Amino acid sequence: MELPHAYIADKVRKDFPILETEFKGKPLVYLDSAATSQKPKFVLDTLNHYYESVNSNVHRGAHTLSRDATSAYEGARDIVASLINAKSRNECIFTKGATEAINLVAMTYGRANVGPGDEIITTELEHHSNIVPWQILASQTGCKLNFAHVDQVNGTLDVEELKSLLSMRTKIVSFQHVSNTLGCVNPVRELVEAIREKAPNAKIVLDACQSVPHQAVDVQALNVDFMAFSGHKMCGPTGIGALWGREELLNSMPPFLGGGEMIDCVTLEGSTYLPSPGRFEAGTPPIAQAIGFGAAIQYLNNIGFEEIEAYEQELGDYLYKRLSEVKGITIFGPEKNRVALCSFHCDAVHPSDLSTFLDVEGVAIRAGHHCCQPLHQALGYSHSARASLYFYNTKEEIDKLIKALEESIAFFDAVGKTDSNSDDLNDDFVPFI
């Protein structure tokens, strides 16, 4: 099976120093980019340059370093706004990551606008960061939290069930663009159209952590109200992400945190607040991380998101095909309309054991529930293994995964471990989440 866009990996791998290293005496095969991606030298150099030559606080000084830091920090905001086609840079708020971004919406817009008798809809496919904040909000406000479930036949979201939950009482609908476990791509525009028609009072929150790093995403075309994504999953530093929201909506919301930077005027009697984005960026922000985030986006733009998406589609198809050929493997999610990740269950080996054995061969995959416990419970498994790819991965690395996987299964078969769900394997203790 030829991959026409394989030249992309050949071109970029030299940009990622860690991909040239060895682990356990074996060349690293990194297949965990859905958890966090590796960082190119361009981003690492940008971070070093900031700390070595620009380091200063932003928005607070008239001296040269502060002006330069502010320019670089706000320049990164412009890069983020351009990436997702925001109407205004003021719609882009820097956060610690998507988790904080979703919590920001729940704790500000949610607390101010949701109460008893109102309803929030999310799905059982979600990452915990798109479930727990709504559970907290429901417990605090008395609203009702409803869930759309997985379509067990197709391995996707039950779209029709989600539509059936919509009503005039619905105030928030929050769901993933791409499932970090099933790999399925949700029909965002179809869902948005139904929400606008059946629940016109609802605000739509999109978790785009697994889509923005891999394809062109246009917030105006998607017509959602909020969107969250992380920098560390798209070649950027950890500790940085973004919340996009409609500017008029953001300016109607109360602050998330109080302190310096987010104020207009403070007196002992009370305070007034800046408009977005300053209103939601209290204190010293993650300056270096934001600048590194901007550099990561520039790096990806230089490759081209159309090229990245095309190559990853080829990689994903090949990964699914090869895993399907391994006896005793159950792949979660649909065969088609999926991204370049596969979560799977192996009859012969517990996921944590499998991950450990693959690690000995230099193959890094994820094992655990991937912060999706409700989804795993619905699928009938407590945990799974997951291989997730990015544009720097190769067909040959997938082949190495399959070889190591088959050897591990053969070993466990030989020693009699044939039931990965047996009580003997202590299913309750899996340190990998």
3-class DSSP assignment, residue 152: coil
Is there a contact between 233 and 217 (Cβ–Cβ < 8 Å)? Answer: no
What DSSP string runs through 207-241? E-TTTTTTS---HHHHT-SEEEEESTTTTS-SS-E
3-class DSSP assignment, residue 416: coil
Do the strands 156-157 and 170-176 form a parallel or antiparallel pair, or are they unpaired?
Answer: unpaired
3-class DSSP assignment, residue 65: helix
Burial (Cβ within 10 Å: 0-12, 13-18, ≥19) of residue 367 = buried
Residue with tokens 């900031």: 50
d(CA 343, CA 352): 13
| Catalytic residue check, 235 | no
CA 384 vs CA 70, 197, 345, 351, 365: distances in Å: 44, 37, 5, 5, 11
Burial (Cβ within 10 Å: 0-12, 13-18, ≥19) of residue 43 = buried
| 232: amino acid identity, one letter | H
Catalytic residue among 143, 184, 371, 372: 371
Q: Residue 156's closest CA among 178, 136, 137, 131?
A: 178
Beta bridge mates, 385: 344, 367
**CA-based max dimension of the chain:** 74
d(CA 289, CA 216): 22
Q: Residue 292's closest CA among 361, 240, 217, 339?
A: 240
The residues annotated as belonging to the active site are 371
